[in-house]
Amino acid sequence: MVSTQFSIIDRAVEGAHAAQAQYGAAPAAVRARLLRGLADALEANQAALVSVADEETSLGAGRLNGELARTAFQLRGFADRVDSGIAHRQIDDAAVPGAPPAGRPHLTRVLAPLGPVAMFSASNFPFAFSVLGGDTASALAAGCTVIVKPHSGHPELSRRVHALAANVLREQGLPEGVIGFVDQASRDAAVHLVSHADVSAVAFTGSYQGGVALWRAANARRLPIPFYGELGSINPLVVTPAALAQGVDAPAAALAASITLGCGQFCTSPGLIVVYDDVDGERFVAALAQALAAQQPHAMLTQAMRGGFEKASAHIAEQAGVRVRLAVSAENEAATTPAPRLYETDAATFIANAALREEMFGPAALIVKVRDEAQALDVLAAVEGTLTATLWGAEADTPANRALAAAAQRIAGRVLFGGVPTGVAVCDAQQHGGPWPASTQPQTTSVGYAAIERFLRPVALQDAPQWALDANAGGITR
C-alpha cells in the first residue's frame, strides 16, 4: 500500500516538474486566465460542491456557500495582482561610472518562481484552504506548479474540485501537471512527498504534531526547502476594565459566538481570555459562561477531531489550579455535537504551566484572571507565538495601552483593537502568520495577496541584455 502511494506521488511530482518549465515561463496573462477560469468553474458547480461539502463536514450550506464565494474571490484577486505585475516586479539600478563604492554595474532585481509546491489541505476550510484555496492560488500566481495533498475530512469534495481544475487546464491548453493531486496519502507518503527531490517548497495548514514532522523532513533533505506551515494558535484576547464600562452582556455574547463559530474549528478561535480579577471581570466571566451554555455547535469535522478536542479539554480541566466555569454533563459527552467548555485559572498558574498554553481545537476557552497591567503583560509574554492577539478597551493613548499593544505585536501576526479574531479578510494588508508555534515562517502570510511572496525567489541580473530583462517581465509593459 505504501509503495503504491509512493508511486502515485512520484508520478504526480514528475508531472508537476515537467509542467514547471512551461508554466513558470508563461506570460502573466496565462496565469491570470487560469486563476479566473478556476474561479468560474467553482461558481458554475457551486450547488453540487456545497452539497458534497456539507455531507462530509457538517459545516452547513450557509457557511460553505460563503466559503466558496471567498475562494473564488481570492482566485480572482490573485489574477488581478498578476495582471498588475506583482509576480514580475523589477527593481532597476542604473550603472554608475567609477570605482566602488560609488560606482557600480547595471543591476536589475527580478523574481523567479521557486518551482513545484506540495500543498497540504486543511481540515476546517474545505474550499478556502483546500484544493483551490489560498496556498494553491498564490503558488499558481507566482508561476509555480502545485501538487495537492487533500485532507481526509473531505475526500470526495477534494476529488471533484480537482476534476474541475483538471478540466480548466485542458480547456486552456495547459499541462495537467500544473495542478497535481495525490489522493489520501498516509503519513509516510506525506513525508515522501515533502522529501521528493523535485518538490521546491511546501505549504501546510494543520496540526502542530503533523506540521513539525513534515517541517523536519523538509529540513532533513539533502537540499532543504522552504516549509510554510501554520501549526496552531490560542489567540489571546485581553479584556481591559475599560472594555466593560458599558456592561458585560454584549461583549460576552460576541465572544461566545466567536468561540463556538464553526464549532471552534477556526485557527483564529479565541482560546485564551485575559480578564482583570475585579467585580466587573467576574461579572463578565459569568455572563460569558451563560452565553456559551446557550450556544449549540454543530458536529465536528471528523470523529478523530472530536476525540482530540475531548482529550485536549480534559487535559486542561485536570491541571492543578484550573476551575471549571462551564461544566459538561454526561449527556453532553455522549451527544453527537460537543458542548462548549470554559475553564479558569490565575496568571501565576498559567505562566508556570506550559500545558495550559496548548490549543483546544474546538468550542472551548481558558480564562486567565490577572491582578494588574503587569500581570497581563506577563501572560502575553508566556504565550510565545500566536496568529492573533485582541485588545478590548485599548482605544485611549495611554502608557498601559501602548505597553499592551507592543506586547501583542511581539507575539502575534495580527493585532485587533476590538472585535473578534475569527474571520480573516483577503486583501493586500493582511497578515496571517505569527511566531512559532503559530507558523514556521512568521515573516510570511498564508492569507492575502502578499502570500505570493512565499513562492518567488529574488535574482539580481547584472549588466543583463534587454532580452533577459524582457524574459522576466511576464509580458507586462513597463
Q: Where are the alpha helices (DSSP H) in 231-367?
A: 249-260, 279-293, 303-317, 330-334, 347-352
Catalytic: which of 56, 230, 344, 359? 230
CB of 77 within 8 A of CB of 430? no
* Beta-bridge mates of residue 203: 119, 228
Amino acid 413 reads G
Give the whole-angstrom CA distance, residue 293 versus residue 142: 46
| Nearest C-alpha neighbor of 273 from the set 409, 370, 207, 374 | 370
DSSP code for 176:
G
**For the CA atoms of the chain, what is the radius of gyration?**
24
Pairing of strands 179-181, 201-205: unpaired
Amino acid 207 reads S
Catalytic: which of 56, 67, 267, 359? 267
Q: Is 144 a catalytic residue?
A: no
Map residue 136 onto helix, strand or coil. Answer: helix
Q: Is 373 a catalytic residue?
A: no
Q: What is the 3-state secondary structure (H, E, C) of 270-281?
A: CCEEEEECCHHH
DSSP code for 104:
B
Distant-in-sequence, close-in-space partners of 437: CB < 8 Å, separation ≥ 6: 208, 231, 232, 233, 384, 385
201 φ, ψ (degrees, to nearest 5): -165, 165
CB of 193 within 8 A of CB of 9? yes
The C-alpha cell at 94 is 542604473
- Burial status of residue 379 (CB atoms within 10 A of its CB: 0-12, 13-18, 19 or more): buried
CB of 207 within 8 A of CB of 231? yes
User: From the CB of residue 45, how many other CB atoms can be counted at a distance below 10 Å?
Assistant: 16
Give the whole-angstrom CA distance, residue 33 versus residue 475: 14
Map residue 293 onto helix, strand or coil. Answer: helix
Map residue 417 onto helix, strand or coil. Answer: coil
CB of 104 within 8 A of CB of 454? no
CB of 172 within 8 A of CB of 140? no
96 φ, ψ (degrees, to nearest 5): -120, 120
* Beta-bridge mates of residue 390: 237, 416
b/e map 109-134, b = 16+ CB within 10 Å? ebbebbbbbbbbbbbbbbbbbbbbbb
* Beta-bridge mates of residue 92: 108
Q: Which residues are catalytic?
A: 230, 267
